[in-house]
Structure 1
Amino acid sequence: MSLFIPLFALVLEENVFLTIGGTQAIDIILPALARSDANILLPRPGYPQYDSRASCCLLEVRHFDLLPERGWEVDLDSLESQADENTVAMVLINPSNPCGNVFTYQHLKRVAEIARKLGIFVISDEVYAHVTYGSNPFVPMGVFSSIVPVITIGSLSKRWLVPGWRTGWIATCDPHGIFQKTGVVKSIISYLEITTDPPTFLQAAIPEILGKTKDDFLSKNLNILRETANIFYDLCKEIPCLTCPHKPEGAMCVMVEINFSQIKDIVDDMDFCAKLAEEESVLLLPGVTVGLKNWLRISFAVDTSNLVEGLSRIKAFCLRYAKMP
């Protein structure tokens, strides 16, 4: 028997484990890997739940960089330099939250080859799978499981727009059976057995949702995101002191750099966001919270009129603090 997961074709039922959203999947996988002196490689910028959960289960966190000037590709040299004999895995988020990029097939294959060289496996966070609207199509990391074992995290909340349902999954893609041999699957099952499960009526709805959602529903959502991404990218160019190095191609957010040489009386990204909230009632996430100080994480998954108004307020704020020539 098999369950259709749109992340990578058909996956055997015994390799799929339902979770209460993607967050619980993280909360289960990381403790399953924890052991004395172990470390895990996380992207910078990245999703802060990984850092928080790793610290709770005594996994040492090491960060590899993503390169804004190269469309947020993995800095492969940085990745290799952080690994040692105690590294158990690396995390890759694709499409990326918070960067909004989508990795190419060629780049993902290179990451898989380096992970094999380092003797580690890949945790592929794909909760935004298929939420892409740029030139790069979504490629599931499981495609490269013959090169390196892959654990995929998936979720209904993003593509199907049901965040309150808290329904996700862990899927192992491991044709060589390495997860079974090393006890990773056994550890995941052990943690699942002492945690709660998604509500049964939501579990019953999953086959209908995955198999019968009409294409026009999904394409309509992508068209909306494509429009808001374009609006954001174009209007951001008009805001002094802010630079968006890469037009978003996937997910629902983007990273923007603050140029402090062009503004006064603001000391860092925290200060920027605090003043902006107080003076313009616009809430942005300081980049330091996702690992990149003096940047901003901005979501554009809002009504277009609200997006335009919000960017107008950010522009007014930046002009008010701009250094005079």
Structure 2
Amino acid sequence: MAHAASARPAAGTPGGSLRRQRPRYGEAIIKGVLLAAALVSVATTVGIVISLLPPTLRFFERVGVWEFLTGTEWSALFDPPSYGVLPLVGATLLITVIAIAVAVPLGLAAAIYLSEYAHPRTRKVFKPVLEVLAGIPTVVYGFFALAAITPLLQDHWPWGEGPEVFNALSAGLVMGVMIIPTVASLSEDAMTAVPQSLRQGAYALGSTRRIVAIRVVLPAALSGIVAAVVLAISRAVGETMIVAIASGNRANLTWDPLQGMQTMTGYIAQAGEGDLPIGSFDYTTIFAVGGLLFLLTFIMNAVSIRLVRRFREVYE
């Protein structure tokens, strides 16, 4: 024992220190690059807020906030103008609900299959193929909704008259297909991160694969699944080309998905085509709608962070 103690390096000597004596310049560079990336993200958000604020404040100098938020007619570019944003907000929420109703069940089903049922070689093939959907340009989705989905719904609609040429239903259905990879890929990553010991313990108690997937893996990965769904909602709310092509450019306050309507992003795309003089009051309406869209997205992200923290599971 004395010999072993005498062989131990003394404290303060190079052999007894756990810290490298030579500086690690590579790690310092990587740390600086990561810090710069974080600062770029923060600076981008601050820049968006700064660019939105002045025109939005000029808009509210002439239009009251209450009139803007509770008005039921939006005809900002017509005479006489109306500045009630509820038709745009209602259309955005309706199409988003349709899209989420499509994407969440299909995306979670795909994630459960890839995580719990698929062979590893099958997973390596299916997951990249699924994510290809996220790389298709949204203008292609919009044209597909207008040229294929809408005629299909019109020809096979079983209850009375079918949808109009421009309608919220086809836009929502195709948007749901577009965001399936977001839900499926992130949810599958969360499920794969669940420790195998939880699955093995459930199997040891006699559980079937279905019970393990639904009652063990899903609750354990709930925080990641919530984050995936909220990210999909944010993407659906901010989608432009699908709604601009398939749902129409008529502000219409209705909950009937068979009718045409205009979303917030659809109005921004229509008004921002270049016909409005820069600096005019009509031009400020783009920033007012964009500011409200930014605020809604910010609130959804804040709520998602609270939900993720509430349902997060930490494993040792």
- For the aligned pair, the TM-score class normalised by the smaller chain equals under 0.3
Greater share of strand: 1
Which of structures 1 and 2 has the bigger CA Rg? 2
In the superposition, the TM-score normalised over structure 1's length comes to 0.23
In the superposition, the TM-score normalised over structure 2's length comes to 0.24
Q: Which protein, 1 or 2, shows the higher relative CO under an 8 Å CA cutoff with sep ≥ 6?
A: 2
